[in-house]
């Protein structure tokens, strides 16, 4: 009887351990794109072989990058970028009771531009140069931004 219980316990412990390892693997997922390496689980970012820097997925610069990365190759509308990054304008419109369906994508263009500017400052501090940044993110006029392949 005890051997049966012990065998079941060992099986349960093994399953629990493998589930935790799988969860850890998902949270430590590493995103790589054009020399940018981002470890979501650890909140660390680096460019090429440079040193890694703290970058929580909760800061706006990373929300901007992660939103574009999640739609890689497709233009992400300004409105979706503002929503993902929770810009002051986006949040103030909620507080004022203005439905986002009443606002047009172009209403968020300037705010998305500021997010791109802030991400540019952030990524240039990691060692990326201006030319590579221009090749990293492209604008589709009156639509949004996308990460190039």
pLDDT in tens, 33-86: 999 999 998 999 999 989 999 999 999 999 999 999 999 889 999 989 988 888
Whether residue 12 lies inside any domain: the answer is no
- pLDDT value at position 142? 93
75: exposed, middle or buried (Cβ count in 10 Å: 0-12, 13-18, 19+): middle
The domain in which residue 79 lies consists of 29-147
CATH of the domain at 79: 1.10.10.10
Residue with tokens 């791109």: 116
Whether residue 11 lies inside any domain: the answer is no
Output phi, psi for 74, to 5 deg: -115, 145
Is residue 48 helix, strand or coil?
coil
The pTM is what? 0.75
């Amino acid at each position: 009887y005890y051997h049966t219980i012990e065998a079941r316990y060992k099986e349960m412990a093994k399953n629990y351990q493998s589930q935790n390892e799988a969860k850890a693997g998902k949270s430590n997922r590493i995103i790589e794109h054009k020399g940018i390496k981002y470890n979501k689980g650890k909140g660390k970012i680096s460019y090429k072989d440079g040193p890694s820097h703290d970058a929580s997925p909760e800061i706006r610069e990373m929300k901007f990058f992660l939103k574009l990365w999640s739609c890689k190759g497709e233009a992400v509308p300004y409105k979706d970028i503002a929503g993902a990054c929770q810009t002051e304008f986006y949040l103030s419109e909620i507080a004022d009771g203005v439905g986002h369906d009443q606002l047009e994508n172009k209403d968020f263009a300037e705010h998305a531009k500021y997010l791109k500017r802030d991400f540019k400052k952030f990524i240039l501090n990691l060692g990326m140069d201006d030319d590579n940044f221009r090749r990293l993110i492209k604008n589709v006029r009156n639509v949004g931004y996308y990460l190039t392949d």
